[in-house]
Structure 1
Amino acid sequence: MAELVFWCAAVLLVHTYFLYPVVLFALDGVAQVLHNVRYMRSGADRRREEQQASELPRVSLVVAAYNEASCIDEKLRNSLALDYPAGRFEVLIGSDGSTDGTDERVLRCTDERVRLSAAPRGGKTSVLNRCIPVAKGDIVLLSDANTMIEPEAVKRLVRHFENPEVGAVCGQLRLYNPTKAEYEESTYWTYESLIKFYEGKRGAVVGANGGLYAIRRSLFNALPPATIVDDFVIPLRILEKGYKVVYEPEAVAHEETTEDYGKEFGRRARIAAGNFQSLRMVPGLISPLSGFPAFAFWSHKLLRWCAPALMALALVANLFLLSSPFYKLTLAGQVLFYGLAYLGKKGLLKGSARRVASVAYYFVTMNLAIVVGFWRFLRNTQRAAWDRTARVPSSS
């Protein structure tokens, strides 16, 4: 029984972190081969067909803001500088009971494309439920106040909506740290972005990042007031309806990460609590009958959320199997990994070894945050209203 538990836990962990990406790569390779076969037989290559220019859709950029006075002016300048026809673009700032002068700064903007929707504090969900239905655009672009979008991003996102099967498009969020060229989240974020890229080729990106994604306004349904991770639930609901959720790596936005590991851990725990909460909001994606979207949801998300339990099961089961030299090696490997994470926390190594240890520490703390988030979910103690994460002051 211990051996069965060990191998079940190990295989599931390997699947969610390694085999699932390999499956995505393989499926893309097969699809490319089939495309080439069709091309050789028919001579038609759709990739080379020039699309007829069509009128760009109206776009509403919706930004939920809570006490963003330190960055809202820069956000407005960035938004109004985006390369999109002025007559077909608006910026709707939804202030969630801001008390630091955010509203006054927005009102000082004289550009007629900017609108302010202010209301008492109710959480980001209340902002989205209030603002998205009154947005003038057929396409709603969602972004955070501290996220800066590159000029061409909007056009690159909306071009996908020429396909009526596409319901949402996720952009690429690039994180940066003003004091460290290399940091733990950068490695993991690159890995996650690569997975989203290949999921997007199959029209099944499992969740978006709140910094930059677009949806058809007609597909938005009001979220339950207590929703914690709106940027996860909204695209999943669209996917559940049978629409494609794709990824556009050339639509880029930038966001500064934080040095405050305590607040970062709290943010991850909050997201984890929201992830578990989301299960009852998208029941269709849990069913195998949903096809590839369900496979992606299980592989990329559900098993990840179970990773802390699987890691614990693998370690405990391993302790009952030490009569075999092989399982002594597997235990030694696990102990070495956790020891490396500890060294990463203490910063005792240098060079490449330090970077590896730092990534191990990030991985362990990320899974500890899942445990904390699950506990909050069980006790229903995670608030839906968010607090902005403090950013490191830029040298500029």
Structure 2
Amino acid sequence: MSEVFFWCAVLLLAHTYFLYPLSLFLLEGAAQVLKNARDGRRAETVNPGSGGQRALPSVSLVVAAYNEASCIQQKLENSLALAYPAERFEVLIGSDGSSDGTDEIVRACSDARVRLSPAPRAGKTTVLNRCIPMAQGDIVVLSDANTMIEPEAIERLVRHFEDPEVGAVCGKLRLYNPTKQDYEESAYWSYESLIKMYEGRRGAVVGANGGLYAIRRSLFTLLPPSTIVDDFVIPLRILDQGYKVVYEEHAVAHEETTEDYGKEFGRRARIAAGNFQSIRMVPGLLLPTAGFPAFAFWSHKLLRWCAPALMGMALVANLFLLDRLFYQFTLFSQVLFYALAYLGKTGVLKRGTAKKAASVAYYFVTMNLAIVVGFWRFLRNSQRAAWDRTARA
């Protein structure tokens, strides 16, 4: 039984982190081969630009803000400089009881495209429930106050809505650290972005990032006020309705990471609690009848959330298998990995490959510890829906 538990844990971990991304890559390759086979030697008969310029839809950029005085002016300037027809674009700032002058800065903006919707503090979900229905655009783009969007990003997002089957489009968020050029999250974030790209080609991106994504306003349904991770639940609900959620890698936004690792851990734990909470909001995606979206949800998300338990299972089961050399080696490998994570925490290693390996191991372990904390908060129902902005460098 120990051997069964060990290999179940190892294979499930291997699936969620390696085999699932590999399956996406292979599916994309197979789809491309089939497309080429259908086309044969025929010349392309459809030119995306030959049908004339279609009228762009109206767009509302909705930003939930809580005490964002340090960056809201920059956000307004960035938003108003986006390359989108002014008569079809508005910026709606939903202030969640800001008390640091955020509202005054927004009111001081003379551009008629900017609207402010202030209300007492109640949480981001309440802000979105208030602002998305009152938005004037057919397409709602959601973004964070500290996220800066590249000029062409909005148009690149909304062009996907020409397909009536598309319900949401996720942009690409690039994280940067002004003081550490090569930080731990960059490699993992690039890996996650690659998975989103391949999921998007199957029309099943499992969750968005709050920095930049777009939805059809008509598909938005009011969220329970206790919803913790709205940017995860909103696209999942659209996917659960049978619409595609795609990814536009050329719609880019930039966001600074934090130097406060304690607060960053708290943010991850909060997201983890919200992830567990979201399961009951999209029951259809748990069923095999949902097709590929269900496969993606189980492979990319549910198994990831089980990773701490699977890691513990692999370690404990391995302790009962030490009568064989192979399992002595697997135990040594696990212990070495956790030792590297500890070294990554202490910062003893100063440079080179060993430092990078320790840093990655530490990031991976803390990420999974945050899942454990988030699960405990979920069980106790102790995670607040209202959020606090994460301090930036």
- TM-score bin (small chain): over 0.9
1:50, 1:356 → 2: CA distance? Answer: 50
In structure 2, the residue matched to 1:224 is 224
In structure 1, the residue matched to 2:33 is 33
In structure 1, the residue matched to 2:353 is 352
User: Partner amino acid for 1:39?
Assistant: D
User: Partner amino acid for 1:351?
Assistant: G
| Secondary structure of 2:40 counterpart | helix
Displacement of 1:52 after TM fit?
A: 3.0
In structure 2, the residue matched to 1:372 is 373
The answer (yes or no) to whether the contact 1:174–1:253 under 8 Å persists in 2 is yes
In structure 2, the residue matched to 1:363 is 364
In structure 1, the residue matched to 2:199 is 199
User: Partner amino acid for 2:355?
Assistant: R
User: Partner amino acid for 1:23?
Assistant: S
1:183, 1:140 → 2: CA distance? Answer: 32
In structure 1, the residue matched to 2:240 is 240
2:141, 2:21 → 1: CA distance? Answer: 28
Query: How many pairs are equivalent?
Result: 392
2:81, 2:49 → 1: CA distance? Answer: 31
In structure 2, the residue matched to 1:58 is 58
Deviations 1:52-98, CA, capped at 9 Å, x for gaps: 31000000000000000000000000000000000000000000000
What is the correspondence of 1:46-195 to structure 2 with a 5 Å cutoff? 46=46, 50-195=50-195
Displacement of 1:348 after TM fit?
A: 1.5
Displacement of 1:353 after TM fit?
A: 1.5
1:44, 1:76 → 2: CA distance? Answer: 42
User: Partner amino acid for 1:221?
Assistant: T
Displacement of 1:24 after TM fit?
A: 0.2
In structure 1, the residue matched to 2:384 is 383
User: Partner amino acid for 1:152?
Assistant: E
User: Partner amino acid for 1:211?
Assistant: G
In structure 1, the residue matched to 2:317 is 317
User: Partner amino acid for 2:318?
Assistant: N
Which 10-residue stretch deviates more, 36-45 or 138-147? 36-45
Displacement of 1:42 after TM fit?
A: 4.7
2:47, 2:17 → 1: CA distance? Answer: 32
The answer (yes or no) to whether the contact 1:60–1:89 under 8 Å persists in 2 is yes
1:234, 1:193 → 2: CA distance? Answer: 19
2:108, 2:48 → 1: CA distance? Answer: 47
| Structure 2 residue runs without a partner (length 5+) | none
| Secondary structure of 2:280 counterpart | coil
Deviations 1:320-339, CA, capped at 9 Å, x for gaps: 00001110010011001101
TM-score, normalised via structure 2 length:
0.98
Displacement of 1:51 after TM fit?
A: 4.4
Residues 26 and 51 of structure 1: CA distance in aligned 2, closer, same or farther (over 3 Å): farther
| Secondary structure of 1:223 counterpart | coil
The answer (yes or no) to whether the contact 1:39–1:45 under 8 Å persists in 2 is no
Deviations 1:166-220, CA, capped at 9 Å, x for gaps: 0000000000000010000111000000000000000000000000000000000
The answer (yes or no) to whether the contact 1:170–1:246 under 8 Å persists in 2 is yes
| Structure 1 residue runs without a partner (length 5+) | none
1:327, 1:220 → 2: CA distance? Answer: 51
RMSD over aligned CA atoms reads: 1.0
Displacement of 1:50 after TM fit?
A: 3.6
What is the correspondence of 1:301-340 to structure 2 with a 5 Å cutoff? 301-340=301-340
What is the correspondence of 1:279-290 to structure 2 with a 5 Å cutoff? 279-290=279-290
TM-score, normalised via structure 1 length:
0.98
Residues 81 and 49 of structure 1: CA distance in aligned 2, closer, same or farther (over 3 Å): closer
Deviations 1:273-316, CA, capped at 9 Å, x for gaps: 00000000000001111000000000000000000000000000
Displacement of 1:43 after TM fit?
A: 4.2
What is the correspondence of 1:247-286 to structure 2 with a 5 Å cutoff? 247-286=247-286
